[in-house]
Amino acid sequence: MAGNGAGPVLTRREVVAASTALGAAVSTADSQERRVALGVIGCGGRGSWIARLFARHGGYSIHAIADYFPEVAQAVGESLGVPAARRFSGLSGYKRLLDTGVEAVALEAPPCFYPAHARAAVEAGKHVYVAKPVAADVPGALAMEETAKRAQTKGLVFLVDYQIPTDPANIAVVRQIHAGAIGKVVAINSQYLAGSWQDPPFTANLESRLRNLIWVNDTAIGSGYHGNACIHAIQAAMWVANGVPTAAMGISRIGRPSPHGDSHDVYALCFEFPNGVVLNHRAKHLNDRLSGYDFCACLVHGQNGSAYVTYTGNAWLIAENDALREEVPNLYEAGAVRNIAEFHRCINERDTANPTVRYAVDSCLATILGREAARRRTRLTMRDILRENRSLPVNLKGLKD
């Protein structure tokens, strides 16, 4: 269709061709570079999966691994061919891993540990690849920001693994939004409708909460359901709005049966942006047969059209003279694969611009803002939570060092 002066509309063929060309270029460049010695810290479900993706890339050697649970470290190390002497366990396993000669680390432990793990890695001169959210509380998020700044001054790469902004279809839609294809953006409706993770009774210490994503039920350990899962949709909305929310209000509750962790799992939130955009976010994390990532998306309302940015299905844009509709395929894996390739490129090209840090810290703070506003059932500003700077201590007593 003809454009409206906001820039060309990409066809599916053009999007796929550009993505394929980029992937081929990355693969070709990577194949000509040396392999990066990688240490993986946190080898549970996603950690072991990410480690296999790094190994599959071809530009990394899995040099060492660490996990709190020794049986996990041994099993994953065995499967990846990591020598027994470089498989570490316990709370301090990551420190021993950093002394093995790794050049980079992938952090996949519960988020409460990221500030300490990242700081130690950067001080040891290691590049850092980290999952989201980067922290569970405000002090942790701010500490990660400072660590990332320190990484840049030391010439180190620091990449946070978000998937939505890596997808070619989402990129094409957001590019058109920012170019004015749907007019001024006035409202965004985001949603995250998915299931919950098991939430068994507490035991003598927190050891039982540190595996199988049980920690998502605990705000201090994993930032809760909003901070750990809804952050995908919130980050996408912030990308579209091209800003950081200044205030939030809303309500939330615990809806899962027999809860033991303190995280709320049902949310209705409203965020205010400095440019006037209103973001309404709804979420449920319940095993009610309406589960999965099928419903992680943002519907964008402009003065002259609408658009849709999503984790799965189709991203689209429609306005009077513009239209775009493209599939977002297999983003959970495809996004991680793209980020792993980008991490490798940045290391080998010494590209330490580290652009993912800014939106990772901002989206982490935004979800903390929403989480706290809903829990207190009041309007809170970003200034409020930064002023409070409230830490969420985690009781590690009784855990193996």
Q: Which two tokens stand for residue 212?
A: 């199988």
Count Cβ atoms within 10 A of the Cβ of residue 272 and give its class: 0-12 exposed, 13-18 middle, 19 or more buried.
Answer: middle
Q: What is the mean pLDDT of residues 65-87?
A: 97
- pLDDT band at residue 22, thresholds of 50, 70 and 90? very low
Radius of gyration (C-alpha) of the chain in whole angstroms: 21
Q: Is the pLDDT of residue 257 over 90?
A: yes
In this predicted model, what pLDDT tens digit does every residue of 306-354 receive, in sequence order? 999 999 999 999 998 889 999 999 999 999 999 999 999 999 999 999 9
The reported pLDDT for the residue numbered 288 is: 86
The reported pLDDT for the residue numbered 31 is: 43
Q: Tell me the domains of the chain and their CATH numbers.
A: 28-160 (3.40.50.720), 168-334+355-388 (3.30.360.10)
User: What does the H/E/C string look like for the chain?
Assistant: CCCCCCCCCCCHHHHHHHHHHHHHHHHHHHHCCCCEEEEEECCCHHHHHHHHHHHHHCCEEEEEEEECCHHHHHHHHHHHCCCHHHEEECCCHHHHHHCCCCCEEEECCCHHHHHHHHHHHHHCCCEEEECCCCCCCHHHHHHHHHHHHHHHHCCCCEEECCCHHHCHHHHHHHHHHHCCCCCCEEEEEEEEEECCCCCCCCCCCHHHHCCCCHHHHCHHHHCHHHHHHHHHHHHHHHHHHCCCCCEEEEEEECCCCCCCCCCCCEEEEEEECCCCCEEEEEEEECCCCCCCHHHEEEEEEECCEEEEEECCEEEEEEECCCEEEEEECCHHHHHHHHHHHHHHHHHHHCCCCCCHHHHHHHHHHHHHHHHHHHHHCCCEEHHHHHHHCCCCCCCCCCCCC
Q: Is the pLDDT of residue 16 over 80?
A: no
Question: Do 373 and 248 contact (CB within 8 A), yes or no?
Answer: yes
Cα–Cα distance, 228 to 136 (Å, whole number): 9
Residue with tokens 């999007």: 15
Question: Do 199 and 258 contact (CB within 8 A), yes or no?
Answer: yes
- Distances, alpha carbon 243 to alpha carbons 4, 122, 239, 375, in Å: 25, 28, 7, 24
In this predicted model, what pLDDT tens digit does every residue of 184-237 receive, in sequence order? 999 999 999 999 999 999 999 999 999 999 999 999 999 999 999 999 999 999
Cα–Cα distance, 98 to 112 (Å, whole number): 19
The reported pLDDT for the residue numbered 294 is: 55
- Distances, alpha carbon 209 to alpha carbons 103, 213, 253, 400, in Å: 30, 8, 21, 14
Q: Which two tokens stand for residue 108?
A: 């996949």
The reported pLDDT for the residue numbered 291 is: 52
Q: Which residues pair with 37 in a beta bridge?
A: 61
Q: What is the mean pLDDT of residues 35-53?
A: 96
The reported pLDDT for the residue numbered 11 is: 38
- Within 13 A of 133's CA, how many CA atoms are on the CB side? 35
* Ranges 130-144, 259-273, 292-306, 335-349: which has the least confidence: 292-306
The reported pLDDT for the residue numbered 289 is: 73
Cα–Cα distance, 279 to 270 (Å, whole number): 6
The reported pLDDT for the residue numbered 322 is: 81
Cα–Cα distance, 214 to 84 (Å, whole number): 28
Question: Do 347 and 104 contact (CB within 8 A), yes or no?
Answer: yes
The reported pLDDT for the residue numbered 17 is: 41
| Average pLDDT across the chain, whole number | 91
* Ranges 20-24, 96-100, 212-216: which has the least confidence: 20-24
Q: Is the pLDDT of residue 5 over 80?
A: no
Cα–Cα distance, 384 to 216 (Å, whole number): 25
- pLDDT band at residue 282, thresholds of 50, 70 and 90? very high
- Between helices 331-349 and 12-31, what is the axis angle to 10°? 50
pTM for the predicted model, two decimal places:
0.90
CA 74 distance to own-chain centroid: 27
Proportion of the chain above pLDDT 70, given as a percent = 91
- pLDDT band at residue 295, thresholds of 50, 70 and 90? confident
The reported pLDDT for the residue numbered 26 is: 44
The reported pLDDT for the residue numbered 34 is: 81
Cα–Cα distance, 376 to 351 (Å, whole number): 42
Cα–Cα distance, 177 to 183 (Å, whole number): 8
Proportion of the chain above pLDDT 90, given as a percent = 89
